[in-house]
């Protein structure tokens, strides 16, 4: 049964793809936020991961899930095809995308099992279900590689820098200049707090070390869709658009 907060999220959905929660569609008060709450994001992730058995039964290589104010869309690319199979279901006015997805997945799962019991063949049940989907053209689901600097955001915050600073050719000079400014303002000899100064110095060393040997973490995904990787059998949340790149 839905909670009051989930119902509130559902009733506050907006049609615009900008400034809305990527888990429930609730309008957000700032462009920097991507979810209305951590709990909201976790609810959708839980429902997606709870029903990966359906995707495995369909021999899914990749899948994406996204929604509008009117429909939810589950796009699937199987391991033996480059075509997109789209399951599109109408939204219910008083339901969240997580609830709508659970309802759709349950229906598809029951249809798969009914056909499997009738034919006693798993592949025939999977073919039956895929035939129910809307088949797209030859456009495959091609997740982009998301690269992110393996450096703590707190280190950047300590020196009053932002992530864009890491792309600066003169990064070392920028870090040293930022450190001098913060050290001057927070040095204990100038009346600053010793603990704050230690954090600033630690951030300086961490960022300077990264500048000398840049390390990035990488994962595949989409900036506007939840993404399922069949090899890992799990869903990952949409990635920030600014991180997308090859």
d(CA 156, CA 154): 5
Q: What is the mean pLDDT of residues 33-50?
A: 90
Read off the DSSP letter of residue 2: -
Burial of residue 40 (CB within 10 Å: 0-12, 13-18, 19+) is: buried
**CA-based torsion, 162, 165, 171, 173: positive or negative:** negative
Length of the chain counted residue by residue: 246
Residue 96: count other Cβ atoms within 10 Å of its Cβ: 29
Q: What is the pLDDT of residue 1?
A: 44
d(CA 49, CA 111): 20
| For residue 41, pLDDT beyond 60 | yes
pLDDT in tens, 66-88: 999 899 999 999 998 888 899 99
**Which of the pair, 177 or 14, is modelled with greater confidence?**
177
| For residue 129, pLDDT beyond 80 | yes
Q: What is the pLDDT of residue 245?
A: 40
201-237 burial string, b = 16+ CB within 10 Å, else e? Answer: bebbebbeebbeeeeeeeeebbeebbbbbbeeeebbb
| For residue 12, pLDDT beyond 70 | no
Q: Which domains does the chain have, with CATH numbers?
A: 4-142+224-239 (no CATH), 151-214 (1.10.287)
What is the maximum alpha-carbon separation in the chain? 81
Helix residue ranges, H only, 74-222: 97-119, 122-131, 153-158, 171-186, 194-212
d(CA 212, CA 191): 32
- Show the CA angle centred on residue 191, arms to residues 157 and 180, nearest 5°: 45
Closest CA to 58 of 83, 39, 36: 83
Q: What is the pLDDT of residue 57?
A: 95
pLDDT in tens, 149-201: 777 778 888 898 887 788 888 899 999 999 999 988 888 888 888 999 999 99
**Which of the pair, 242 or 84, is modelled with greater confidence?**
84
Q: What is the mean pLDDT of residues 104-133?
A: 96
Helix (H) or strand (E) holding 147: strand 144-149
Beta partners for residue 62, in sequence order: 77, 229
What's the mean pLDDT when you consider all of the chain? Answer: 83
Q: What is the mean pLDDT of residues 192-218?
A: 87
């Amino acid at each position: 049964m839905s909670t009051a907060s989930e119902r509130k999220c559902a009733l506050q959905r907006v049609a615009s793809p900008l400034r809305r929660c990527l888990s429930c569609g609730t309008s957000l008060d700032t462009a920097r936020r991507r979810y209305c709450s951590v709990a909201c994001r976790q609810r959708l992730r839980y429902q997606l991961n709870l029903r990966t058995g359906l995707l495995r039964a369909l021999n899914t290589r990749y899948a994406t899930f996204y929604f509008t104010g009117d429909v939810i869309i589950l796009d699937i690319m199987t391991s033996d095809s480059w075509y997109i199979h789209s399951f599109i279901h109408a939204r219910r006015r008083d339901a969240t995308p997580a609830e709508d997805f659970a309802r759709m997945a349950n229906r598809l799962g029951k249809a798969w099992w009914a056909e499997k019991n009738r034919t006693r063949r798993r592949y025939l049940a999977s073919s039956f279900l895929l035939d129910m989907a809307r088949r797209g053209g030859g456009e495959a689901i091609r997740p982009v590689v998301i690269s992110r600097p393996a450096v703590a955001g707190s280190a950047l915050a300590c020196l009053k820098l932002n992530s864009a600073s890491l792309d600066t050719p003169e990064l070392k000079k920028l870090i040293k200049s930022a450190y001098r400014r913060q050290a001057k303002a927070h040095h204990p000899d100038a009346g600053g707090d010793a603990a704050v100064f230690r954090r600033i110095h630690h951030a300086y060393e961490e960022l300077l070390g990264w500048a000398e040997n840049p390390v990035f973490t990488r994962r595949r995904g989409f900036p506007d869709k939840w993404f399922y990787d069949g090899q890992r059998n799990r869903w990952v949340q949409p990635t920030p658009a600014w991180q997308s790149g090859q």
